[in-house]
Chain A
Amino acid sequence: MSWHIDETTWRAYAAGRLDAVAESAVEEHVTSCPGCRDGARMVVGDVEPLWHAVHHQITAQLTAPAQSRVLRLLARLKVPGADLVVVGAARDLLTSWSVAVGAAVCCALLTGLVPVHLPGGPPALFLVIAPLIPVLAVVAAYDATDPLREITETTPFSKLRLALLRAAAALTAAVPLTVAVALAVPALRGYFATWLLPGLALTVTALILLTWLTAWIACAVVGGGWLAAALAAAAADRIDGAATGPGQAAFALVVVVLGVVLVHVTTTQHTRGVAP
């Protein structure tokens, strides 16, 4: 053995300053040179902390939950890690998004099949069904984490933030899909945006009801109420009233009022108790 590793080289190696060729030469040499291994100990000192640090890093990588493609994309978009955990808790949104896709497809089929001579025709049916799609997606996102409601309730995390995070994550699929349905069906093109305010009003109503009700019961109440209102409007021959200027203005006002109610209930209400 014609050479040995001096202290300067060891320090450069430990600091990662050697080039690839020099680094492999050091590594190959040290496997067969006990003297240089001792030299390494003198430079690095106690290897226990280093070993623990490496072990800790490996354990951390092995145990941390793997993120889905969607969450990795959101991480790249600089969404905070804690928010990603909340969003990912809804089973990586798969159920929620699947519900949104299924509902949007059903909506497209139904509006495509409805006879044009019926009162209001396809647009009226679209205006009845479309606002329920985001409600379904949000409720599906809630349903996944609903079993933990009693624990969630006792944590300091803002319930409003929790509600909005889950809702926003669910709506990222539901809203574009429903708009796409409206754009794809020729008879609906003029209505692609008119369902948004009713949809928002229904979604916020569902979020408010989720303070007291389980996810699917809240969904049933909102859906049932909306369909009953739609039937009443159809009976009065005012089914397309939601698409008119005054109708949209009324929904905008309702959204504002419901938003205030949502802020109030998420900061003041507790889970409704049931007798043990």
Chain B
Amino acid sequence: MTVTLDNVTKSYGRTVALHPTTIRFDHGVIGLLGPNGAGKTTMLRVLSSALSPSAGTVTVAGHEVTGSHAERTEARRRIGYLPQEVVFPRGMTAFGFLDYIAVLKEWGDTTGRHDEVRRVLALVDLAERATVKVKALSGGQRRRLAIAQALLGDPALLLLDEPTTGLDPEQRASLRGLLSGRPGTVLISTHQTEDVSALCDRVVVLDAGRVCFDGTVPDLLATAAGRVHQGPSANPGAVQTWRTGTGLIRSVGGRPAPDSSAVEPTVEDAYLLLRSATPEGAPA
């Protein structure tokens, strides 16, 4: 299962959300990191076919999302998409909502469709809430319901825009378990760097509509090796510093303070350093 963006651009009026981008995604879990407005959501919406690119070609499993109606429909049969925000229609139950989306995903046979709805409800631990109206569900449960609709039909390409927003640590761990065992390609846009380090085979960092890093988690960590320190005082010129629970100050970047020692960087450290190297992310 291969997904490609070939010279894809997206502009909203004069604002360029995605500069010409050529990238290929193969099997595995890929994390999209970046600040707000970096182009993550735009990239996912273009891949999902919810949005037409201003230029370029998007291909999902050999079918052009940007091609003919038939090609786009073929591509859509392979896509499960979770938007950043899902506003649910009033009055629907959890089961009814998924049943409706399952119909739109071409599950015509009622028995098979209902079995599939029950399967995804169980996957997100909502089997017991099937008959509850969506408006009566908690925020976390609604988010899981939104994830469930993306999982209908076990799509080969799963596009998840900030799936862990509103989930508690246990639910996030459960979602990681669910996604890590999946075949096919999973693209996750997130601000949670710990999700990336725990789950992703590959990380793509976007900034101001451009890809500024593309590699594995160890590759990303390697960019921060020897640049994160901990000690009683902060590194001069550090990108970020904060006092940890032990009372020591953790410094990301900058010149090492004389009494500090280098520590293992996290994905968040590496991300902060990467951001500081871009014009948009550099400290004022």
Residues of B near A60 (CB, < 8 A) are: 111, 114, 118
Instruction: With A147-B87, A156-B77 as known contacts, state yes or no: A276 contacts B100, CB within 8 Å.
Output: no
B114 touches A275 (CB 8 A): no
Residues of B near A152 (CB, < 8 A) are: 104
Instruction: With A144-B90, A145-B89 as known contacts, state yes or no: A276 contacts B41, CB within 8 Å.
Output: yes
Residues of B near A268 (CB, < 8 A) are: 69
Instruction: With A65-B99, A86-B100, A276-B17 as known contacts, state yes or no: A154 contacts B90, CB within 8 Å.
Output: no
Residues of A near B89 (CB, < 8 A) are: 89, 91, 144-145, 147-148
A152 to B97: give the CA distance in the assembly, Å. 12
What's the count of A-B pairs with C-beta under 8 Å?
Answer: 115
Q: What is the interface size of chain A, counting residues whose CB is below 8 A from a CB of the partner?
A: 35
CB distance from B102 to the nearest CB of A (A): 8
Whether B15 sits at the interface, judged by CB under 8 Å, is yes
Cβ-neighbour of B105 out of A64, A155, A270 (below 8 A): A155
A window 83-133: CB within 8 A of B: 85-86, 88-89, 91
Residues of A near B213 (CB, < 8 A) are: none
A63 touches B76 (CB 8 A): no
B window 39-58: CB within 8 A of A: 41-42, 45, 48-52
Residues of A near B106 (CB, < 8 A) are: 155-157
Q: Which residues of B contact A (CB under 8 A)?
A: 10, 12-13, 15, 17, 37, 41-42, 45, 48-52, 69, 73-74, 76-77, 79, 81, 83-84, 86-93, 95-96, 99-101, 103-108, 110-111, 113-114, 118, 130-131, 149
Q: List 24 A-B contacts (CB under 8 A).
A: A60-B114, A60-B118, A65-B93, A85-B99, A85-B103, A88-B96, A89-B92, A91-B90, A144-B91, A147-B87, A148-B87, A148-B88, A148-B101, A150-B45, A153-B49, A153-B50, A154-B50, A156-B74, A156-B76, A162-B104, A270-B50, A271-B51, A273-B45, A273-B51
Q: Which residues of A contact B (CB under 8 A)?
A: 59-60, 62-65, 80-82, 85-86, 88-89, 91, 144-145, 147-148, 150-157, 162, 267-268, 270-271, 273-276
